[in-house]
Chains A and B, each alone.
Chain A
Amino acid sequence: MDKQAEFVLRTVEERDIRFVRLWFTDILGALKSVAIAPAELEGAFTEGIGFDGSAIEGFARVYESDMLARPDPSTFSILPWREEGPGVARMFCDIKMPDGSPSFADPRHVLKRALTRAAEMGFTFYTHSEVEFYLFKDEPALGSEPVPIDRYGYFDNAPNGLAHDFRRQAITTLEAMGISVEFSHHEGGPGQQEIDLRYADALSTADNLMTFRLAIKEVALDQGIFASFMPKPFMEHPGSGMHTHLSLFEGDTNAFYEPGAPHQLSKVARSFLAGLLVHAPEITAVTNQWVNSYKRIAGGAEAPAWACWGRHNRSALLRVPIYKPDKANSARLEYRALDSATNPYLAFALLLSAGLKGIEEEYEMPPEAEDNVWALSEIERSALGMRPLPGSLNQAIIAMENSELVADTLGEHVFDFFLRNKKAEWNEYRQQVTQWELNRYLPSL
């Protein structure tokens, strides 16, 4: 047993932890949890905890035998929102096959595989995300209009704002779990919040995002309100995106930075950026995985709909943020299509693979998009070489289906499951008769 596992066992003893939750994530990004008693911890570290994979979305039928959840002791953390009563802690797990080899259905393994490939090329992948979400007064009953907790807007500092209290408690909770918050403010929509996480290696960020979503929901419940990461809950207000900053490091140096190069972007960064642009359409089904995700993109404004990049251009898919010259290590790219309801493991793995592909194949970076892309005509955009991102889940599925890059990155099992599941979702959606149709057609047809 390594030192970290020993540390966990000791802490569980010292802090009187009665339950340890073992967390893992299904293919669609839902957090799964199994609680074990401290007595089982040692076995969990060495052997793993067996469970029936068939009950989990996307794990079914990979293999007939049980799977093992083996906790990663470096992710140990005490859950701060269970203050009274005996303590509860959590760890993320890797999903293993009975012989100890990693499961191809485990999204965490998908990301680890992509990271290993990056490591073989000498890179570590760092990300940080700006997560947007809405706060509602109550959990909306089915069929009712959701009511946001306030009517304030971007950066508003609301007096006696519920939102303010909420953010304070949320951030305290996150920090207590070792998740550093960089920034938080009221976003554009009523009741909409944004919290920015500090940068970390991609695996930690993905773990953190899973924790983040749960923590936010828990804190909201605690305050008698309701939080949602749905990409686009209101037609008239902005959706909840998850702009994510990406950078590659070679050891301790930022591989994206090169003084004197165009935009201070190294060749690595330029090819990485080009890779993201070239492969953006085929990875969109994962970065924006729900029917609802495309309502956000269709809404214009800050949500990107074309594969292009810019420095100041908030309508571009990729932004090259400006940073202070003495902060070479802050060189990064901001990918703006992601929404808050993605599976971060799969999304990061694909973003990384698309960028690495650009590096391997030495893609050339296209010229910068300087105008507001939404204001251009279709023919102008096409003349500038901007390809549209998929406009619906269906288009995204079709783009993904023919992608060897996505198949390679996700592995055949996840690739196949994901496509089947999304096709089913699209099929179900197609059959809906919406209020909009009723309003529009019923009176006149």
Chain B
Amino acid sequence: MIADSSQGSPRVSSMRVGLLKAGVTDSEAAITAVAEIESYSDQAISGAELSRALVGVADPDLALKSLARLVASAPAPELTRMINTVTAEPIVLGRLLTLMGVSTRFADFLVLHPEIGIIADSQSLAEPPEGIRARLMTCVGADPHQEIPIAMSSQDDVLDALRVAYFQELMGIAARDLTGIYPMEVIAGWLSDLADATLNAALAIGRVGVLHPRTPLAVIAMGKSGGRELNYISDVDVIFATDESDSVNDATQIARGLMRACSAVTAEGSIWEVDAALRPEGKQGALVRTVESHVGYYERWASTWEFQALLKARCVAGDQTVGEQYIHGVQPFIWAAADRDGFVTDVQAMRRRVEENVNASIADREIKLGPGGLRDIEFSVQLLQLVHGRSDALIRSSNTIDALRALAMWGYVGREEASQLEHSYRFLRTLEHRIQLRHLRRTHIVPQDPDELRVIARSMGITSNPIDTLISQWGSNRAEVRRIHEKLFYRPLLNAVAGLDASAARLGSAAATERLRALGFLDPAGALRNIEALSSGVSRRSNIQRTLLPVMLSWFAQAPFPDTGLSAFRAVSDQVGSSHWYLRLLRDESLIAQRLAYLLASTRYVTELIHKVPESISMLAHNEDLVPPVLGPEIDSVLTRHLEPERAVSSLRAIRRRELFRTSSADALRLTDVTTVGRALTEVAEATIRGALACANEEDPSVWLAIIGMGRFGGCELGFGSDADLMFVFEPAVGADHEVAAKSAFARVNRMRSLLSAPADEPPLELDTDLRPEGKNGPLVRSLDSFAAYYKNWSSPWEAQALLRARTVAGDAELGARFEKMIAPVRYPVAGLNATALLEMRTLKARMETERLPRGIDPKRHIKLGRGGLSDVEWTIQLLQLSHGHECPELRTTQTLQALAAAEQGQLMSHQDSAILAKAWTLASEVRNAIVLVKGKSSDVLPIDVTDLAAIAYLMGYSRSRVGQLEQDYLRATRRARGVAERIFYGSVS
């Protein structure tokens, strides 16, 4: 009303300017509020003063509105007191507005509790908040000076009093915080003091009404509270301990009372949840244990994350003796943790889990979790402490900033890196604090609303272009943190050998060795030599490698063979290190560097291909480059380009080598599946054979020739270690002489084989022709008629069985089709399998199982011939194909998995059986491929060497902490498959 009448007057317009300058957005409402304040305070608080005091306030609109609310609602005596304070000390007005300008909750509280007055004068706000514990104790009626204080009651009025007192203290800390004088860690320390004091008061309440209220109970703070780095709104993690088992019952009751005193929702709300889930056995475990029971648990059961949590344990309330016993009892476990099996993998796995847990849609707004979050810093600092803290007590600290500084001071991390990181940590923590203050809610999410962002930015002192500045600062700090592993763990290793940068960590060689070993390097000395070779010198290459190495090392360390990976990287660098493309790729395509590190440190097969043709690593940059291309046009172009067959085939084989790299890399990177791999390898083999056949002699019009793929080649299921099984069929042209045609076909086939197997740099394509009629004794090429006659008169059941996989792969398509038509009645006999044939097939397989298995090999581990292995599955489905192929057209496929699906569809096999067989077959095929990738050579035996087994499991995506799991899975899958095979193939009844 006042504003209305005086609108346009010079006074108002100058005030409007002042308010707008102070950051007010709604000047009308602000002017109204100012007028109200002036009026209620009898002009003691003037608009001009308000404008001045508003400068730098996060949300000036809110601050004015709140102050107006406050003066309007305050009872007369309180109002007078307030006005007196403000007029005596103008600075107090600014503090009040700052506080109310960050959250509406402060004004709400003051309106509700005018008796508190406007918190504190400027004198007390300039000093740390001493004596919190005594004040909170007194407010619940406990004597702070007694050894075991007990509250006057545990009724709601006492809980209310505690809540009011708590909030008042919290407001005091916030007011000090927002003045910007105190660094983040001091504020966090005070917040921890407040939490400690609250736990003390809550303990005094918890003792009320318990049979033995003086039962010893120690409250151990964990987590942020334990580290004295609490934020505004957070659960407080605790563990409870008592002295002896007789005390447990009473102590448990007291602990429950304590938790309730903090968490119960009363008229004054709730303080925070007391979270006791870090205790032994987690939420399932007893709430209170004796110190002995705690120690016993850690001796026997604890897992790595629990030791990491123990780093922060601190006794904050209750029985100090028990508390000290507890801390003393658990300390040794913490520092022995790094010696535990799988410690590093455990910790890294925990980190990955934390990352995976973050809901993807908010991950990029998370301050705490997610890549580049606060958790990253805390984890890494704790990990380094666990690794080096055992031999060096100087770096043991439960507080993140203290620990980081100690690590830098004693040379475990670079000073420069540590101080950058500390800066980022402060920034992120401050941001977190301000976001929490805004609504006094427990959150770690940066809001999206621009108005909110603006207030938060201003509360952090960012007044010019607040939103964009805040977002960009946050982004750059996150980016800084994201590179924490390479910075903290790996970069100091470079300086251990190179020592170029004076400000960097001077990790002694003993510490470097300790760290490399903790990171999984088996030969730290060798690794250090490689690091030295890669990073020393002044060339452009060593410059780039120096930058790259820390992060490369972290990738090597995650793979099964870090040492091999590092030395292979050195070899590649020696080979092509000076070429421009290589350095550019490494520098600009971080995905390539990461994938290269992974492949070098986990697969010998791919590593050998890389050594042969280092250029191929450029494919690793994009997933679409790792998808097999259509090869036809490229092959055709090679064939038209080179007239000389040797050179043409050499080009074909180079294409094949490139495709092998592509497929093996995709497989190792788990970007594909075993069926796709099989198809890709089959297509490459086909294309190569087709091309080689085209190069072998001129087309001879007197003879048609077709190449029939058999076995896994016929089934489009080639693996990295497979040969290509083949048969050759020809037919003389009409009127041509049979003998001449046979000779010509034979010559062509031979020429093709010699072209493909000529010694060269490229991996040879092995052809296997032993499945032809009469095996090694039979002619290499046969006419269609001769095939037909043979199958009609001589063929045995196993040959019919082998024909199930026959498929034309090259040569004359029409002849191939006629061949397939000719064999149809052989492989899909109209009468199915007769009893004799069935018996013969079963006995043959049974004999193979005993005779063909290499001696000394555990049959369970033989992938092809062993229990429930590939041949159990294939023979079982092939039996059904032979029996029912004539009546069930879907069964007429050369592919195992398709045939299994068809058998299930045709109700020849239950869904369960078909799934069991498919699972075992797929797993066995995957294992077989993985063996080749890891070892660089093929083997049909699941390795018994633990290192190999672990590497294979890793390549197949098993977590490194569960090495035995692959073996268990494999043995289980094949045991089940054997059960099905015995039933269906052998017809046994169980």
Contact B946 A98 (CB under 8 A): yes
Contact B971 A99 (CB under 8 A): no
Which residue of the partner chain, among B281, B967, B968, contacts A119 with CB atoms under 8 Å?
A: B281
Within the assembled complex, what's the spacing in Å between the Cα atoms of A160 and B599? Answer: 77
Contact B301 A119 (CB under 8 A): yes
Assess whether A301 is interfacial by the CB under 8 Å rule: no
Contact A74 B299 (CB under 8 A): yes
Q: Give the contacts of A54-91 with B (CB-CB under 8 A).
A: 61-65, 74
Q: Which residues of B contact A65 (CB under 8 A)?
A: 945-946
Within the assembled complex, what's the spacing in Å between the Cα atoms of A74 and B301? Answer: 13
Question: In the complex, what residue of chain B is closest to A203 when comparing beta carbons?
Answer: B300
Which residue of the partner chain, among A64, A252, A416, contacts B944 with CB atoms under 8 Å?
A: A64
Within the assembled complex, what's the spacing in Å between the Cα atoms of A61 and B285? Answer: 40
Contact B990 A2 (CB under 8 A): no
Q: What is the CB-to-nearest-CB distance from A356 to chain B, in angstroms, rounded to a whole number?
A: 14
Question: In the complex, what residue of chain B is closest to A64 when comparing beta carbons?
Answer: B944
Contact A2 B333 (CB under 8 A): yes
Within the assembled complex, what's the spacing in Å between the Cα atoms of A119 and B306? Answer: 14
Within the assembled complex, what's the spacing in Å between the Cα atoms of A3 and B947? Answer: 31
Assess whether A4 is interfacial by the CB under 8 Å rule: yes
Q: Which residues of B contact A62 (CB under 8 A)?
A: 944
Assess whether B963 is interfacial by the CB under 8 Å rule: yes
Contact B972 A104 (CB under 8 A): no
Assess whether A224 is interfacial by the CB under 8 Å rule: no
Within the assembled complex, what's the spacing in Å between the Cα atoms of A412 and B248? Answer: 42
Which residue of the partner chain, among B248, B283, B860, contacts A252 with CB atoms under 8 Å?
A: B248
Interface string of B591-627 (1 = CB under 8 A from A): 0000000000000000000000000000000000000
Within the assembled complex, what's the spacing in Å between the Cα atoms of A37 and B983? Answer: 55
Q: Which residues of B contact A144 (CB under 8 A)?
A: none
A62-B944, A64-B944, A412-B967 known; A2+B286 contact, CB < 8 A = no
Assess whether B950 is interfacial by the CB under 8 Å rule: yes
Assess whether B332 is interfacial by the CB under 8 Å rule: yes
A2-B336, A3-B332, A251-B281 known; A100+B286 contact, CB < 8 A = no
Within the assembled complex, what's the spacing in Å between the Cα atoms of A180 and B333? Answer: 28
Contact B332 A2 (CB under 8 A): yes
Question: In the complex, what residue of chain B is closest to A104 when comparing beta carbons?
Answer: B964
Contact B944 A122 (CB under 8 A): no
Q: Which residues of B contact A416 (CB under 8 A)?
A: 860, 971, 975
Q: What is the CB-to-nearest-CB distance from A249 to chain B, in angstroms, rounded to a whole number?
A: 9
Please, how many residues of chain B have a CB less than 8 angstroms from a CB on the other chain? 35
Contact B975 A1 (CB under 8 A): no
Q: Which residues of A contact B945 (CB under 8 A)?
A: 63-65
Which residue of the partner chain, among A61, A101, A251, A402, contacts B946 with CB atoms under 8 Å?
A: A101
Within the assembled complex, what's the spacing in Å between the Cα atoms of A64 and B856? Answer: 11
Contact A252 B289 (CB under 8 A): yes
Within the assembled complex, what's the spacing in Å between the Cα atoms of A416 and B866? Answer: 14
Within the assembled complex, what's the spacing in Å between the Cα atoms of A64 and B963? Answer: 16
Contact B858 A61 (CB under 8 A): yes
Q: What is the CB-to-nearest-CB distance from A65 to chain B, in angstroms, rounded to a whole number?
A: 7
Q: Which residues of B contact A388 (CB under 8 A)?
A: none
Contact A250 B975 (CB under 8 A): no
Assess whether B447 is interfacial by the CB under 8 Å rule: no
Q: What is the CB-to-nearest-CB distance from B958 to chain A, in angstroms, rounded to a whole number?
A: 13
Assess whether B341 is interfacial by the CB under 8 Å rule: yes
Contact B284 A4 (CB under 8 A): no
Which residue of the partner chain, among A63, A101, A402, A411, contacts B968 with CB atoms under 8 Å?
A: A411
Interface string of B272-291 (1 = CB under 8 A from A): 00000000111111110100
Q: Which residues of B contact A3 (CB under 8 A)?
A: 332
Q: Which residues of B contact A251 (CB under 8 A)?
A: 280-281, 284-287, 289
Assess whether A123 is interfacial by the CB under 8 Å rule: yes
Contact B971 A402 (CB under 8 A): no
Contact B286 A252 (CB under 8 A): yes
What size tier do the contact residues of chain A reach?
A: 20 to 34
Question: In the complex, what residue of chain A is closest to B300 when comparing beta carbons?
Answer: A74
Q: What is the CB-to-nearest-CB distance from B306 to chain A, in angstroms, rounded to a whole number?
A: 12
Q: Give the contacts of A96-146 with B (CB-CB under 8 A).
A: 97-102, 104, 119, 121-124
Question: In the complex, what residue of chain A is closest to B947 when comparing beta carbons?
Answer: A99
Q: Which residues of B contact A9 (CB under 8 A)?
A: none
Contact B972 A412 (CB under 8 A): yes
A101-B341, A101-B964 known; A250+B284 contact, CB < 8 A = yes
Assess whether A407 is interfacial by the CB under 8 Å rule: yes
Interface string of B210-254 (1 = CB under 8 A from A): 000000000000000000000000000000000001001000000
Q: Which residues of B contact A61 (CB under 8 A)?
A: 858, 944
Q: Which residues of A contact B301 (CB under 8 A)?
A: 119
Q: What is the CB-to-nearest-CB distance from B863 to chain A, in angstroms, rounded to a whole number?
A: 15
Contact A100 B858 (CB under 8 A): no
Q: Which residues of B contact A1 (CB under 8 A)?
A: 336
Contact B946 A63 (CB under 8 A): yes
Within the assembled complex, what's the spacing in Å between the Cα atoms of A101 and B285? Answer: 27
Contact A101 B963 (CB under 8 A): yes
Q: Give the contacts of A145-165 with B (CB-CB under 8 A).
A: none
Question: In the complex, what residue of chain B is closest to A249 when comparing beta carbons?
Answer: B286
Contact B286 A99 (CB under 8 A): no
Within the assembled complex, what's the spacing in Å between the Cα atoms of A216 and B450? Answer: 80
Q: Which residues of B contact A402 (CB under 8 A)?
A: 990
Q: What is the CB-to-nearest-CB distance from A107 to chain B, in angstroms, rounded to a whole number?
A: 15
Contact B284 A122 (CB under 8 A): yes
Which residue of the partner chain, among B289, B950, B967, B975, contacts A104 with CB atoms under 8 Å?
A: B967
Assess whether A311 is interfacial by the CB under 8 Å rule: no
Q: Give the contacts of B608-665 with A (CB-CB under 8 A).
A: none
Q: What is the CB-to-nearest-CB distance from A98 to chain B, in angstroms, rounded to a whole number?
A: 6
Within the assembled complex, what's the spacing in Å between the Cα atoms of A402 and B964? Answer: 22
Within the assembled complex, what's the spacing in Å between the Cα atoms of A62 and B281? Answer: 33
Assess whether A314 is interfacial by the CB under 8 Å rule: no
Within the assembled complex, what's the spacing in Å between the Cα atoms of A430 and B312? Answer: 64
Q: Which residues of B contact A407 (CB under 8 A)?
A: 972, 975
Within the assembled complex, what's the spacing in Å between the Cα atoms of A149 and B282? Answer: 53
Q: What is the CB-to-nearest-CB distance from B872 to chain A, in angstroms, rounded to a whole number?
A: 16
Within the assembled complex, what's the spacing in Å between the Cα atoms of A193 and B325? Answer: 44
Q: What is the CB-to-nearest-CB distance from A42 to chain B, in angstroms, rounded to a whole number?
A: 13
Which residue of the partner chain, among B283, B333, B342, B944, contacts A63 with CB atoms under 8 Å?
A: B944
Contact B971 A122 (CB under 8 A): no
Within the assembled complex, what's the spacing in Å between the Cα atoms of A65 and B858? Answer: 15
Assess whether A413 is interfacial by the CB under 8 Å rule: yes
Question: In the complex, what residue of chain B is closest to A255 when comparing beta carbons?
Answer: B284
Q: Give the contacts of A379-425 with B (CB-CB under 8 A).
A: 402, 407, 411-413, 416
Question: In the complex, what residue of chain A is closest to B856 when comparing beta carbons?
Answer: A61
Q: Which residues of A contact B286 (CB under 8 A)?
A: 250-253
Q: What is the CB-to-nearest-CB distance from B217 to chain A, in angstroms, rounded to a whole number?
A: 15
Interface string of A1-45 (1 = CB under 8 A from B): 111100000000000000000000000000000000000000000
Contact A413 B946 (CB under 8 A): no
Q: Which residues of A contact B299 (CB under 8 A)?
A: 2, 4, 74
Question: In the complex, what residue of chain A is closest to B245 when comparing beta carbons?
Answer: A252
Q: Which residues of B contact A97 (CB under 8 A)?
A: 946
Q: Which residues of B contact A250 (CB under 8 A)?
A: 281, 284-286
Within the assembled complex, what's the spacing in Å between the Cα atoms of A1 and B333? Answer: 10
Q: Which residues of A contact B336 (CB under 8 A)?
A: 1-2
8 nearest A-B residue pairs (beta carbon): A122-B284, A251-B286, A412-B971, A252-B286, A251-B285, A63-B944, A100-B341, A97-B946
Report 28 cross-chain contacts, Cβ distance below 8 Å, ordered by A residue. Answer: A1-B336, A2-B332, A2-B333, A2-B336, A61-B944, A63-B946, A65-B945, A65-B946, A74-B300, A100-B341, A100-B342, A101-B946, A101-B963, A101-B964, A102-B964, A104-B967, A122-B283, A122-B284, A122-B285, A250-B281, A251-B287, A252-B286, A407-B975, A412-B968, A412-B972, A412-B975, A416-B860, A416-B971
18 A-B pairs besides A122-B283, A251-B289, A413-B971 with CB distance below 8 A are: A61-B944, A63-B944, A74-B300, A100-B342, A101-B341, A101-B964, A102-B964, A119-B301, A122-B281, A124-B281, A250-B285, A251-B286, A252-B286, A253-B286, A402-B990, A411-B964, A411-B968, A416-B860
Interface residues, chain B, CB within 8 Å of chain A? 245, 248, 280-287, 289, 293, 299-301, 332-333, 336, 341-342, 858, 860, 944-947, 950, 963-964, 967-968, 971-972, 975, 990
